[in-house]
Amino acid sequence: MTGWTHHLIVAPILVPLATAALLLLLDERQRVAKALISVGACIVLAAVVTTLFRAASTAAVPDVYLLGNWPAPFGIVLVLDRLSALMLALTALLAIPSLVFSLARWHAAGSHFHTMFQLLLMGLNGSFLTGDLFNLFVFFEVMLAASYGLLLHGSGQQRVKVGMHYIALNLVAALLFLIGVSLVYGSAGTLNMADLAVRIGEIEGDRRALLEAGAGILGVVFLIKAGMWPLNFWLPNAYSAAAAPVAGILAIASKVGIYVILRLSLLVFGEGPQDGFGLSVLLYGGMATIAFGAIGVLASQALGRLAGFSVLVSSGTLLTVLGTGDGEVAAGALLYLVSSTVTLGAFFMLIELVERGQDAGAAVLAVTMEAYGEGDEGEEVEIGVTMPGTMAVLGLCFAACGILLSGLPPLSGFIAKFAILTGMVGAGAGTIAPSTWFVVALIVLSGLAALISLTRAGIRTFWASMEGTVPRVFVIEIAPVMLLLLVTVFLTAQAGTAMRFMTDTVAGLKAPQQYIEAVRGAHRAGRPVPDGGQVEASD
pLDDT at 274: 45
More confident: 479 or 390 = 479
Q: Is residue 183 part of a domain?
A: yes
Q: Is residue 321 pLDDT above 80, yes or no?
A: yes
367-377: average pLDDT: 44
Q: Is residue 437 pLDDT above 60, yes or no?
A: yes
> Which of 45-59, 217-231, 374-388, 394-408 has the least mean pLDDT?
374-388
> Which of 68-72, 167-171, 400-404, 450-454 has the least mean pLDDT?
68-72
Residue 301 to residue 339: CA distance in whole angstroms: 24
pLDDT at 335: 93
Helices 244-253 and 133-152 pack at an angle, to 10 degrees, of 160
Q: Is residue 272 pLDDT above 50, yes or no?
A: no
Residue 436 to residue 404: CA distance in whole angstroms: 23
> Which of 14-18, 309-313, 460-464 has the least mean pLDDT?
460-464
69-77: average pLDDT: 81
145-193 tens-digit pLDDT:
999 999 988 878 888 888 888 899 889 999 999 999 999 988 888 888 8
Q: Is residue 365 pLDDT above 90, yes or no?
A: no
- Mean per-residue pLDDT over the chain, rounded: 84
Residue 323: closest CA among 284, 267, 296 = 284
Q: Is residue 383 part of a domain?
A: no
Q: Is residue 533 part of a domain?
A: no
Amino acid at 413: G
Amino acid at 297: V
Q: What share of the chain is helix, strand, coil (3-state, %, to 5)?
A: 75, 5, 25
pTM, two decimals, is: 0.87
Q: Is residue 168 part of a domain?
A: yes
Q: Is residue 132 part of a domain?
A: yes
Q: Is residue 535 pLDDT above 60, yes or no?
A: no
Q: Is residue 483 part of a domain?
A: yes
Q: Is residue 227 pLDDT above 80, yes or no?
A: yes
Domain containing 77 equals 3-371+388-520
358-365: average pLDDT: 47
Residue 267 to residue 517: CA distance in whole angstroms: 12
Q: How many CA atoms lie within 13 Å of 72's alpha carbon, on the beta-carbon side?
A: 29
Residue 166 to residue 174: CA distance in whole angstroms: 12
Q: Is residue 229 pLDDT above 60, yes or no?
A: yes
Q: Is residue 381 part of a domain?
A: no
Q: Is residue 38 part of a domain?
A: yes
Residue 321 to residue 386: CA distance in whole angstroms: 46
User: Residue 98, class by beta-carbon neighbours within 10 Å (0-12 exposed, 13-18 middle, 19+ buried)?
Assistant: buried
Total number of domains in the chain? 1
Q: What percent of the chain has pLDDT over 90?
A: 41
- CA end-to-end distance (rounded Å), the chain: 6
pLDDT at 128: 94
pLDDT at 468: 56
